[in-house]
């Protein structure tokens, strides 16, 4: 039995809110809270969510605004992370811009993210990385340059970075860890969003895995240990119902697994509180 589930600061490490295409920040936060959730880490949605003019600053600022709305009007504690989704770079290319011109536009947006972090208005760079779909060799080269630039910024402003990439295997985790070493960023400050159960250091090479909260993945992970974060990647888009996981999933799964003895309270506090504090240097 759970002594007091309200004491566990159940955290969704990657959850979106969208008032244009979805339920928006307040309804999503209330659904999360009523299911037992307490902390939301919220990356801004891409600019195509509200227009098609590549207004990255507006997209990033909206992410900050939505977090403030949640913190002022609900009992959920939320934190913004700011970045440019790798698909934005692909869309810039499709719009007719060159590889270099598109690269410079994304770098400028990431510089703005660094400013926000220096001003304590965001807690991490993300989601950045490279596409989960196939692209040309030339595009992949630039996508990797963007990922490296994001890590360099994270090192400079002393914050974590959330990566959106292909479904990573041990080889990719090793690649990300070596890239972190190259730019001088602590490996644990690199968070692999939408990760499988790669929670041992010989699997993730010190990179922090943020696990998709499917039953099978969490069951597999908890047998190995508790060195991971949990997320839904909820996209809050009514045109794509069921595309990822719903906003209730992390709290419901956590509490259900505690009741069933799959997860103990010590592990729950480690995953949802201690790991979150360690990676983000925040108080929850």
What is the count of structural domains for the chain? 1
The helices-and-strands tally (H runs, E runs) of the chain is 11, 8
Element (H, E) at 141: helix 137-157
Which tokens in the block code for residue 108?
């400028």
Q: What is the pLDDT of residue 2?
A: 52
Q: What is the pLDDT of residue 1?
A: 47
Q: 138-167 burial by CB neighbour count: b if 16+ within 10 A, else e?
A: ebeebbebbbebbbbbbbebebbbbbbbee
Query: What residue numbers bound the domain in which 103 lies?
Result: 5-280
CA pseudo-torsion sign 171, 177, 181, 182: positive
Q: What is the pTM of this model?
A: 0.97
Mean pLDDT of the chain: 96
CATH number at 84 reads 3.20.20.140
pLDDT band for 16, please (50, 70, 90 cuts). Answer: very high
Per-residue pLDDT tens over the stretch 26-66? 999 999 999 999 999 999 999 999 877 899 999 999 999 99
Beta strands in 97-207 (DSSP E): 125-129, 161-164, 190-195
Per-residue pLDDT tens over the stretch 145-184? 999 999 999 999 999 999 999 998 999 999 999 999 999 9
Round to whole Å and give the CA distance between 87 and 97: 14
Strands of the sheet with 39-43, listed across from one edge: 11-12, 39-43, 77-81
Per-residue pLDDT tens over the stretch 111-140? 999 999 999 999 999 999 999 999 999 999
Q: What is the pLDDT of residue 6?
A: 65
Residue 242 has pLDDT above 80, yes or no: no
Round to whole Å and give the CA distance between 85 and 163: 9
Residue 108 has pLDDT above 70, yes or no: yes
């Amino acid at each position: 039995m759970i002594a007091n589930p309200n004491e566990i600061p159940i955290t969704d490490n990657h959850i979106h809110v969208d008032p244009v295409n979805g339920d928006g920040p307040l309804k999503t936060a209330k659904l999360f809270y009523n299911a037992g959730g307490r902390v939301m880490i919220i990356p801004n949605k891409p600019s195509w969510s509200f227009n098609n003019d590549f207004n990255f600053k507006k997209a990033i600022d909206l992410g900050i605004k939505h977090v403030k709305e949640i913190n002022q009007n609900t009992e959920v504690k939320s934190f913004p992370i700011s970045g440019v989704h790798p698909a934005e770079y692909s869309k810039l290319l499709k719009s007719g811009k060159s590889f270099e011109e598109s690269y410079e536009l994304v770098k400028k947006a990431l510089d703005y993210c660094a400013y926000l972090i220096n001003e304590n208005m965001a807690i991490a760079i993300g989601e950045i990385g490279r596409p989960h779909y196939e692209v040309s060799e030339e595009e992949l080269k630039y996508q990797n340059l963007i990922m490296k630039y994001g890590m360099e910024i994270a090192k400079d402003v002393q914050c974590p970075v959330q990566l959106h990439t292909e479904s990573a295997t041990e080889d990719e985790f090793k690649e990300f860890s070596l890239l972190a070493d190259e730019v001088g960023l602590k490996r644990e400050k690199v968070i692999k969003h939408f990760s499988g159960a790669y929670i041992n250091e010989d699997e993730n090479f010190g990179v922090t895995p943020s696990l998709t909260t499917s039953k099978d993945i969490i069951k597999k992970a908890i047998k190995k240990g508790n060195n991971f974060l949990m997320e839904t990647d909820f996209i809050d888009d009514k045109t794509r119902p069921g595309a990822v996981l719903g906003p209730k999933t992390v709290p419901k799964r956590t509490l259900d697994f505690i009741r069933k003895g799959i997860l103990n309270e010590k592990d729950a506090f480690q995953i949802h509180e201690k790991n979150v504090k360690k990676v983000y240097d925040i108080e929850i």
